[in-house]
Amino acid sequence: MTYPNQANPHGMKQRDLEAFWAELKIGIDQVYNKENIDRKRYMQLYSCAYDYCANVTGDTTAKADLPRVTRKPSKPGTNKQQGARFIGLELYKRIKDYLELHLQTCREKIMEKDLQDELLLEHYTKQWSDFKFSSRVLNGICQYLNRHWVKRKREEGNKRIYEISDLALVQWNEHMLSPLTSQVTKAILVLIEKERNGELVNTGLIKTAIKSFVELGLKGHAPENKLKVYAQNFEHHFLAETTCFYTNESSSFLQQNPVPEYLKQAQKRLKEEMDRCDKYLDESTRFELEQKCVHVLVEKHLELFFAEFVNLLDNDKNEDIGRMYELVVRLPTGLQHLKNLLENHIKSVGLKAVEACGRGKDSVDPKEYVKALLEVHKKYNDLVTTSFDKNPIFVQALDKACTAFMNKNCVSETCNNTGKSPELLAKYCNLLLKKSSRISAGEDLESILNNVMVIFKYILEKDVFQRFYRSLLAHRLVNDTSVSHDLEGTMISNLKQECGFEYTSKLQKMYTDTHTSRDLNDRFHEFCSTPIPGFSVMVLSDGSWPFPRPTSEFNVPPELQVYHEKFSTFYDKQHSGRKLSWLYNQSKGELEWSRKPKSTHRFQCTMFQTSILLLFNHKDSYTFEEIQSNTALDPERLDQILKQLISFNVLKSSSGTEGSTLAAENIDLNLDFSSRKIRINLAMPLKTEAKQETEQTHQSVREDRNLVIQARVVRIMKDRKRLKHSLLLAEVLHQLQNFQPSVQSIKKAIGILIDKEYIDRVENENDVYQYRA
């Protein structure tokens, strides 16, 4: 081998390089003509390219030097290195020119056939695949150039030098795609439109063509630039085309079809477009494509949707509603309006349901009322679950609507009392939990009680519920009419779960009192040497039960006196220091009527009735005063009780007239009393009492509230010391969960507390209160 002359190194090499290139070019031709290249040939070409680059450093020492040179690039006057640079550039340029020429030829082939659409795509993609394959081979052959010269250039910051594989892509972009881009894109769009119109098209072609756009984004670019070719040449046009297509389609579709049909169509179209993303579009298009489609298919027709929504609700078209939801949910703002529509709808349906069961009636049947509420709730709870995917916005709409119509409706308006719902709900619970209730046996009480809790959650004035529930529970427990003690316990713990310990503490205490009383009775019977048949006592904790302490006088009948005393002694022994007061008005007894042979009756009586009737064991006729002095009952009450007994035909008055007072009359036992029933319940509540009780309960709740508000204000102020008016209001409203006090009532409480000097206003800041220790 001749060695290059130091004086003229380039001239020497030029000749060799031409030879190398000539050989290499033959190989590259083979590559791009897709001729079969075996391994040996491949290696040959590789070393040829290598030799081309390495030739400049022909002598062996220099070759060994090469890595060192890279490490010391600053060493001046290294001709060899400069030569290598030059040589690299030479080869790089030649390859570049070669590719340009090659692509020009290919392009001309496509152009001259004047191909359109699918055929054009076929050719384009064919060329692309071939070119890609060949370029990969070429890249392999030029690996040495890539690894050294190109790498160094790029490290030096020259971004216009690419690895050969990338160079090939750049050349493709420049000499193939750029001139053809509009044709290719148009071809793709035509195919897509055909597909949208239901024609079967070769999606493989589209996929490859689009992929060619995507792959032209080069490695190592910033992510937003990577898809530049794709975005500029294709995506942009595609999105515009899509918008246009669906604008036309949706408006013409809506002209010919009802909205529900359109919903189906829009849903189908959206799904198709999303599938399109999966099939051949780049993933990056998905978001914008969806946005554009939703805008054209949904947002532009929202007004129409909203109008239809109400119709759908009216006709219970749950599937269509679900479809509409799925479309509108894609818009960030669309749901709010649907939510309002739904809320109003539920509310008006609820109000109508209540009206149907309560309009024009004096008293509403609790069972029907609760049933009506539950039906509406269930219906729309199901709707929200199935059609609205339990979306929190719609759950909220349901809650708001239920709260509205369950608390304020025609029933509550009729009696002008928003506490009507809790009252009826408590009464319904009583129907459920009372023995002999008319709830059919097949129904699962526990699940019905759970339904009750559904409504309970929406009740605003929970304090009213508690008051009624407590008084009805007391009756059930005292009269032993609970259907099941376990269920009573379950219901109490349900309430506790919802409202906390404080809310149910009295109920709980009543419940446990009943249990302890049973034990107590057992022990009492053990205590007595001879058991007393039919005698039982309940000991109720003071303050927990809704019974006022007895104030009226009453003489226990002598017949019972002995047991009365015995129990008192017994209880004193058990718990010294506790004081028993007897609630005679809650006590009951059973009397046997056996005036005529073979005709015995059993009377269930109140204690007061008992005390009167027992007198007649001694003689058959008394004056009013005699009875009064024996029983010590207050005359007005005695009068009522006697009248009731007369109405049962057990007693009769001497004159037999009704209406006026009995004070001047003789009261006789009705010896002719007869009845078909053996057991007769005389212990009916006095008629006037029942109605009054309801009103009284409401009244006492109202009175308690003022105290509750005052107590709460004091507690907050004690905690905060100083608080602005508005913050105090907010805090009170926030803390009081069992009812919603009006602002006026809170202000009233504040006024009272200022007057009582618990709090006062801060000087010169009239809207700030401070706690007075």
Partner 1 sequence: MMNFQSKKSGSVSKDRMIAKFMQLTATGEKTANFCLSVHGWKLDEACDYYFSNPEKYARDHKHQILVDRKKIQHLFDRYRDPSLDVISVDPNHDGLLRFFQEIQLDVYSVHALIFSWRLGVAVQGTITREEFSNGLMALGCDSVDKLKTRVSQLDNDIRQPAKFKEFYGYTFTFAKDAGAKNLGIEDALRTWKVVLAGRFPLLDEWCTFVAQHDRRSITRDTWNLLLDFALTINSDLANYDDEGAWPILIDEFVDWLRPRLPSSATTTTSMS
Name the residues that contact partner 1, by CB under 8 A. Answer: 725-726, 744, 747-748, 750-751, 754-755, 760-761, 766-769
Nearer to partner 1, 643 or 748 (CB): 748
Quick one: 445 or 768, whose CB is closer to partner 1?
768
**Where do we find the tokens 């030569």?**
83
| Residue carrying the six token digits 């559904």 | 454
Is the Cβ of residue 197 or residue 742 nearer to partner 1 in the bound state?
742
Cβ closest to partner 1, residue 226 vs residue 725 = 725
- DSSP 8-state code for residue 482: B
Nearest to 482 by CA among 520, 563, 538: 538
Three-class DSSP labels, 58-85:
CCHHHHHHHHHHHHCCCCCCCHHHHHHH
- According to DSSP H, which parts of 575-661 are helical? 607-615, 624-631, 635-647
Three-state secondary structure call for residue 618: coil
Smallest gap from Cβ 515 to partner 1, in A, equals 47
Q: How far is the CB of 743 from partner 1 (least distance, A)?
A: 8
- Of 472, 256, 291, 282, the C-alpha closest to 366 is 472
The least distance separating partner 1 from the CB of residue 665, rounded to whole angstroms, comes to 45
Q: How far is the CB of 747 from partner 1 (least distance, A)?
A: 5
Q: Measure the CA–CA gap between 695 and 686, rounded to whole angstroms.
A: 15
Q: SS in 3 state form for 530-548?
A: CCCCCCCCCCCCCCCCCCC
Report which of 45, 224, 245 is spatially closest to residue 145, judged by C-alpha positions. 45
Q: Which is nearer to partner 1, 526 or 760 (CB)?
A: 760
In the complex with partner 1, which residue's Cβ is closer, 220 or 751? 751
What is the nearest approach in angstroms of partner 1 to the Cβ of residue 293? 42
Helices of type H across 682-758: 687-720, 725-735, 743-755
Is the CB of residue 717 less than 8 Å from the CB of residue 758? yes
CB of 729 to partner 1, least distance (A): 8
Helix orientation angle between 39-54 and 117-141, rounded to the nearest 10 degrees: 60
59 versus 755: smaller Cβ distance to partner 1: 755
Q: What is the DSSP string of 489-525?
A: HHHHHHHHHHH-HHHHHHHHHHHHHHHHHHHHHHHHH
The CB density around residue 743, as the number of other CB atoms within 10 Å, is 10
Residue 710 tokens, joined: 């005052």
Using CA atoms, how far apart are residues 728 and 717, in angstroms rounded to an integer? Answer: 8
CA 425 to chain CA centroid, nearest Å: 26
CB 679 to partner 1: min, Å = 54
529/766 with CB nearer partner 1: 766
Closest to partner 1 by CB, 36 vs 766, is: 766
Q: Quick one: 349 or 732, whose CB is closer to partner 1?
A: 732
- Least CB distance to partner 1 at residue 740 (A): 17
Nearer to partner 1, 537 or 768 (CB): 768
Give min distance, CB of 752 to partner 1, in A.
Answer: 9
**C-alpha closest to that of 239 among 196, 292, 202:** 292
Please state, in angstroms and rounded to a whole number, the distance separating the CA atoms of residues 719 and 717.
5
Tell me the closest approach of the beta carbon of residue 727 to partner 1, in angstroms: 11
| Choice between 395 and 729, CB closer to partner 1 | 729
In whole angstroms, the minimum distance from the beta carbon of 189 to partner 1 comes to 54
Nearer to partner 1 by C-beta: 255 or 744?
A: 744
Alpha-carbon gap, residue 457 to 624, rounded angstroms: 53
Nearer residue to partner 1 within complex by CB, 194 or 748: 748
| Minimal distance, residue 726 CB to partner 1, in Å | 6
Give the number of other Cβ atoms within 10 Å of residue 94's Cβ. 16
In the block, tokens 């010919």 appear at 256
Q: Which is nearer to partner 1, 413 or 767 (CB)?
A: 767
Q: How far is the CB of 717 from partner 1 (least distance, A)?
A: 13
Q: 255: Cβ–Cβ under 8 A, 6 or more apart, which residues? A: none
Strand 599-606 and strand 588-596: the pairing is antiparallel
Query: 668: closest CA among 617, 626, 616, 628?
Result: 616
When the beta carbons of 439 and 727 are compared against partner 1, the nearer one is: 727
- Tell the smallest beta-carbon distance from residue 761 to partner 1 (Å): 7
Q: Whole-number minimum distance, CB 730 to partner 1, in Å?
A: 11
The bridge status of strand 722-724 relative to strand 666-669 is: unpaired
CA angle in degrees (0–180, nearest 5) for 77-81-82: 75
C-beta of 728: minimal distance to partner 1 in Å?
Answer: 9
Of 647 and 740, nearer to partner 1 (C-beta) is: 740
Compute the distance between CA of residue 508 and CA of residue 457 in angstroms, rounded to an integer.
20
End-to-end CA distance of the chain: 112
Closest of 567, 495, 507 to residue 538, by C-alpha? 567
Closer to partner 1 by Cβ: residue 666 or 706: 706
- Note the Cα 754 to chain centre separation in Å: 44
At 668, which helix (H) or strand (E)? strand 666-669
> What's the rounded Cα separation, in Å, for the pair 517 and 277?
75
Closest contact distance (angstroms) between CB of 751 and partner 1 is 6
Answer whether 217's CB lies under 8 Å from 227's CB: yes
Return d(Cα 743, Cα 730) in angstroms, integer.
10
Rg of the chain over Cα atoms, rounded to whole angstroms, equals: 49
Residue in this structure with the two tokens 């550039």, named with its chain if needed: 89
Q: What one-character DSSP code corresponds to residue 28?
A: H
Closest separation in Å from C-beta 536 to partner 1:
52
> For residue 30, which amino acid is it?
Q
**SS3 category, 606:** strand
